[in-house]
């Protein structure tokens, strides 16, 4: 008897294992994340569904874990007891491995539960890839909410991102993915956002897994004017949609057998496009003289799905293959029996989804894979390196620049990668060559070792490669040398084991130095020592002792000067406060009050997000909050505050105040209502096209601001980031220079007119001589201004790979040489300008952009020439006005042509 008992126990245990194994196998492809579950806790089986949940720790690199109070935990729903919240960064993303082209049901659950004790309901956005999915507002749904979408990934990686939009902190309780049959739920465009999914029954049971193999949730629903019918027989539910068999064993029919089965509901957004999926099964045995058939009608229009006549105990699914709209947002769905039907219509279950358009294409997958491999290889843990690298534009990864066209359906491409001073070690990995549209690669100031890889020469789009100040060895590949002769700019200084000559057999002798500095800086010390020695020979012996003292101190001072300026180290006491003055200082609570809790963002840059603010109800301001993820933010914050507190000029954006309270840093500026110059040139700001006179006035005002920095400040300042996005315009289109975070001071006169510093600026505007030598002077700003002026004249991109000459200065020079002048001036001006004024401005721009800094004019000279341009343009306007006043009844058609022989700029 005992033996029989053990056999029975063994038998049922085996059955249990088989059932659990089958259940586990049916969960293949499921991703079920209990967000915030500690990584050291093992996966567990959720009691209601039998689904295995595990920690989300391996799917996201940021965030903190929280737990709701015990008294608020939901019975049998362990996955909602913990959560992950994101106090740091703006965008935090889950990165999930999926199957490209496969349809997935994606479900995210949010239950705040006052986990932080603040009793402040979070509000934030959720993105899928580079596109917004929805807004989560826990104040509206304090008991929690579930968001669900059916989505087809365009790659094998899928990012689900939580985006901070205000002062509250994003959070999430659970994230689930369920693969669906690939030929189901197909939308013509976009994805399908869950609206509702019902089975028609007076039951109170929510149907989920394992009753639904895809783990969809089905809510029971029955209207008072309906009658429920049911069967105990098994119903076949296999047709790829596979709704739960339990949902097909019950159905609703109208109580009035001659009436249609009608349902009416309102859409949240009246303009929503929707898809319907209706599931039918005949569950009554029909007599020989009975017929059940009916039409599907939406808002009075018969949907062309054919007459519906459900089969006995078999599933029939009818759906809309094109999205439908409901007039005024009121949907009236009816099932109306045909004239030959003797029985009323029935409906077992149905689903409704709205269309979620996802217009922004993700970055090209091969480039995403490459940059992720680079991130993994070098263990880069930047909080901004989450989600899509390039899109949306406001969440561009730090150190990247991408080509994002006006056609957002075109995938962005990575065109610039700056990993300077990023702690990179090891060799230069081959993943870089998969960034096939890369124009600039900066790997300087790291500890990279090994050979310079030859594959860099095969990257045809590369214009600039900076490998300076690493530990690279060997020789430079001949293929790279060949590319150099064709215009590639290759920088390799500061690699003491790298052979720079053609004969690389002789070992290089390494000289020990106390202070590591660039080759140019060491050369400066050597030159000074030689001069001192020459001078020493001419001295009398009585002066030799004094000379020796001067000589040794001079070398020490020069070395210390180079060390401080090359590496931007503070020369003073480290305990010295960052900002000397406490004038115009605001508290963080005052910042939150003036921005109404960060209610209205204006834009975002490398420093952080800029918000609109209101100071004492009388003055509009722009508030730039330092992002905790900004690589150089604290340093730029200090530089900008200290500069703007001591300089004042009508053409420099004025600082209203700042905040440096604990870990909160903000800059408060005067508000510039007309945005930046780039927005107006590109047309993104809207409004009319800037005429030539206005453009000249803006250029002059920007030049006046730079002139003040160069000659009016003591010590003089170099802006280092002059570009069209940093030229702001007020309500009267008066121009002011902004963003002084990269500015540096230098002494004018003598041998102090240049400063060695780590190169900073924006590709295209960056002075090539400064980039090559790291020697900074006011002429670096002059170069950037020249590029800006070319942009004002031509309205062309500063760097454009589609041109024969990608750099704007080289392109203008090339077009002038060809004599094809019609391509140069912005066509939006429609020829409405003084020809000589435009060409003189072009000549000024080309002289500013001269590769040799010695041949560039000063900003004072630039201003004189530009004022002449404006005077010439004003004279033209005055002449035209006089002609119009004297011939007011005559319509004039004036065509301006170029005399290219007499007025084209001098070749530079």
C-beta of residue 196 within 8 angstroms of C-beta of residue 155: no
Both tokens of residue 886?
A: 């004297």
Token pair recorded at residue 535: 């001078």
Cα–Cα dist 473/837, whole Å: 53
Measured distance CA(812)–CA(797) in Å, rounded? 12
Sign of the alpha-carbon torsion through 502, 504, 507, 513 = positive
- Reading the block at residue 825, the tokens are 């001036």
Q: Which residues are annotated as a binding site for ATP?
A: 624
Strands 273-280 and 44-45 turn out to be unpaired
Using left for φ > 0, alpha for ψ between -120 and 50, and beta otherwise, residue 333 falls in: beta
Q: How would you class 749 by CB atoms within 10 Å of its CB: exposed for 0-12, middle for 13-18, buried for 19 or more? A: exposed
Extract the tokens encoding 66.
């929280």
The H or E element that residue 450 is part of is strand 447-451
**Helices and strands per DSSP (H, E), number in the chain:** 16, 45
CA distance 11 to 340: 56
Would you call 847 helix, strand, or coil by DSSP?
helix
Q: Which of 629, 608, 127 is closest to 391 using CA atoms?
A: 127
Q: Cis peptide leading into 392, omega within 30 of 0? A: yes
Q: Count of alpha carbons within 13 Å of 810, Cβ hemisphere only? A: 14
- Tokens for 612, please give them: 């609109």
User: Burial, 304: exposed, middle or buried (Cβ in 10 Å; 0-12, 13-18, 19+)?
Assistant: exposed
Number of CB atoms found within 10 A of residue 470's CB:
25
**Cβ atoms of 619 and 584 closer than 8 Å:** no
Cα distances (Å, whole numbers) of residue 257 to 199, 260, 289: 20, 8, 16
Pick from 517, 665, 505, 494: nearest CA to 579: 665
DSSP SS3 for 396: coil
Distance CA 622, CA 654 (A): 11
Query: What are the backbone angles phi and psi of residue 744, rounded to the nearest 5°?
Result: -135, 145
In the sheet that 294-298 helps form, which strands lie side by side, from edge to edge? 261-266, 330-337, 294-298, 301-302
Q: Which of 272, 388, 721, 781 is catalytic?
A: 721
Kindly tell me the sign of the dihedral angle through the C-alpha atoms of 196, 200, 201, 205: negative
Contact of 772 with 731, CB cutoff 8 Å:
no
Judged by DSSP in three states, 248 sits in helix
Tokens representing residue 844 in the block: 């000024």
Whether 116 is catalytic is: no
Nearest CA among 393, 351, 317, 370 for reference residue 131:
393
**Cα distance between residue 243 and residue 86, in whole Å:** 37
CB atoms within 10 A of CB 249: 21
Q: Binding site: what residues are annotated?
A: 624
Rounded CA-CA distance 474/450 in Å is 8
Which two tokens mark 479? 């293929």
Q: Which tokens belong to 280?
A: 């039918």
Do the Cβ atoms of 308 and 208 come closer than 8 Å? no
- For 357, the 3-state DSSP assignment is coil
Using CB atoms within 10 Å of the CB of residue 18, give its burial: 0 to 12 exposed, 13 to 18 middle, 19+ buried: exposed
Alpha carbon distance 883, 35 (integer Å): 75
Catalytic residue ranges: 721
């Amino acid at each position: 008897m005992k033996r029989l008992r053990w056999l029975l126990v063994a038998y049922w245990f085996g059955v249990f294992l088989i059932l659990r194994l089958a259940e586990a196998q049916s969960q293949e492809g499921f991703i079920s994340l209990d967000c915030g579950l500690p990584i050291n806790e093992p996966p567990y089986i959720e009691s209601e569904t039998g689904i295995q949940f595990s920690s989300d720790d391996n799917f996201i690199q940021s965030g903190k874990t929280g737990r709701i109070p015990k008294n608020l935990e939901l019975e049998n729903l362990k996955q909602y007891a913990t959560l992950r919240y994101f106090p740091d960064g703006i965008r935090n993303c889950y990165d999930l491995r999926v199957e490209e082209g496969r349809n997935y049901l994606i479900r995210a659950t949010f239950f705040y539960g006052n986990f932080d004790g603040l009793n402040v309901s979070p509000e934030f956005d959720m993105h899928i890839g580079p596109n917004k999915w929805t807004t989560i507002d826990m104040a509206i749904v304090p008991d929690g909410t579930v968001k669900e979408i059916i989505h087809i990934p365009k790659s094998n990686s899928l990012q689900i991102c939580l985006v901070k939009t205000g002062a509250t902190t994003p959070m999430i309780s659970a994230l689930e993915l369920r693969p669906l049959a690939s030929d189901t739920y197909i939308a013509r465009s976009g994805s399908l956002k869950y609206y509702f999914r019902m089975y028609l029954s007076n039951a109170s049971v929510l149907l989920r897994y394992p009753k639904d193999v895809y783990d969809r949730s089905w809510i029971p629903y029955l209207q008072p004017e309906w009658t429920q019918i049911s069967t105990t027989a098994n119903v076949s539910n296999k047709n790829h949609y596979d709704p739960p068999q339990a949902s097909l064993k019950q159905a609703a029919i109208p109580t009035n057998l001659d009436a249609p089965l009608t349902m009416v509901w309102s859409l949240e957004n009246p303009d929503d496009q929707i898809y319907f999926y209706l599931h039918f099964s005949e569950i009554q045995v029909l007599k020989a003289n009975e017929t059940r058939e009916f039409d599907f009608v939406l808002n009075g229009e018969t949907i062309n799905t054919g007459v519906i006549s459900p089969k006995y105990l078999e599933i029939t699914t009818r759906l809309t293959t094109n999205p439908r709209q409901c007039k005024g947002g009121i949907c009236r769905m009816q099932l109306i029996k045909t004239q030959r039907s003797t029985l009323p219509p029935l409906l077992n279950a149905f689903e409704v989804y709205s269309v979620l358009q996802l217009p922004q294409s993700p970055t090209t997958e091969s480039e995403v894979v490459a940059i992720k491999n680079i991130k993994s290889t070098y263990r880069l843990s930047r909080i901004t390196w989450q989600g899509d690298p390039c899109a949306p534009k406001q969440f561009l990864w730090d150190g990247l620049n991408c080509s994002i066209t006006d056609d957002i359906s075109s995938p962005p491409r990575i065109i610039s990668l700056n990993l300077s001073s990023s702690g990179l070690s090891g060799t230069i990995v081959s993943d870089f060559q998969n960034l096939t549209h890369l124009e600039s690669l900066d790997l300087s100031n790291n500890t990279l070792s090994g050979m310079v890889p030859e594959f860099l020469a095969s990257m045809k789009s590369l214009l600039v490669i900076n490998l300076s100040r690493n530990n690279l060895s060997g020789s430079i590949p001949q293929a790279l040398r060949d590319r150099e002769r064709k215009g590639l700019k290759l920088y390799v200084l500061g690699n003491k084991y790298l052979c720079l000559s053609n004969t690389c057999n002789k070992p290089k002798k390494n000289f020990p130095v106390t202070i590591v500095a660039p080759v140019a800086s060491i050369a400066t010390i050597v030159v000074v020592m030689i001069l001192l020695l020459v001078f020493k020979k001419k001295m009398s012996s009585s002066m030799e002792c004094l000379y020796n003292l001067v000589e040794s101190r001079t070398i020490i001072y020069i070395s210390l000067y180079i060390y401080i300026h090359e590496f931007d180290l503070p020369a003073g006491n480290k305990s010295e406060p960052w900002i000397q003055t406490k004038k115009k200082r605001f508290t963080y609570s005052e910042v939150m009050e003036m921005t109404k809790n960060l209610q209205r963002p204006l834009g975002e840059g490398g420093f952080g997000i800029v918000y609109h603010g209101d100071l004492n109800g009388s003055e509009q301001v722009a508030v730039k909050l330092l992002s905790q993820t900004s690589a150089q933010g604290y340093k730029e914050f200090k530089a900008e505050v200290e500069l703007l507190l001591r300089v004042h000029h009508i053409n420099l954006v004025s600082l209203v105040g700042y905040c440096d309270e604990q870990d909160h840093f903000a800059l408060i500026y005067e508000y510039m209502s007309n945005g930046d110059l780039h927005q107006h040139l590109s047309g993104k700001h809207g409004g009319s096209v800037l005429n030539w006179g206005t453009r000249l006035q803006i250029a002059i005002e920007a030049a006046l601001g730079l002139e003040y920095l160069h000659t009016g400040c003591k010590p003089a300042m170099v802006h280092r980031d002059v570009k069209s996005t940093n030229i702001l315009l007020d309500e009267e289109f008066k121009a002011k220079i902004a963003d002084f975070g990269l500015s540096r001071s230098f002494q004018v006169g003598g041998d102090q007119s240049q400063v060695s510093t780590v190169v900073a600026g924006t590709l295209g505007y960056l002075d090539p001589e400064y980039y090559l030598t790291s020697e900074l002077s006011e002429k670096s700003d002059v170069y950037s201004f020249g590029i800006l002026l070319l942009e004002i004249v031509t309205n062309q991109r500063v760097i454009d790979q589609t041109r024969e000459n990608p750099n704007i200065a080289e392109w203008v020079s090339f077009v002038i040489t060809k004599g094809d002048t019609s391509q140069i001036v912005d066509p939006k001006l429609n020829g409405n300008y003084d020809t000589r004024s435009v060409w003189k401005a072009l000549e000024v721009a080309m002289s500013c952009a001269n590769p040799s800094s010695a041949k560039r004019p000063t900003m004072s000279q630039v201003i004189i020439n530009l004022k002449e341009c404006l005077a010439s343009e004003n004279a033209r306007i005055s002449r035209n006005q006089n002609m119009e006043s004297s011939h007011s009844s005559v319509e004039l058609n004036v065509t301006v042509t170029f005399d290219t022989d007499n007025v084209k700029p001098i070749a530079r």
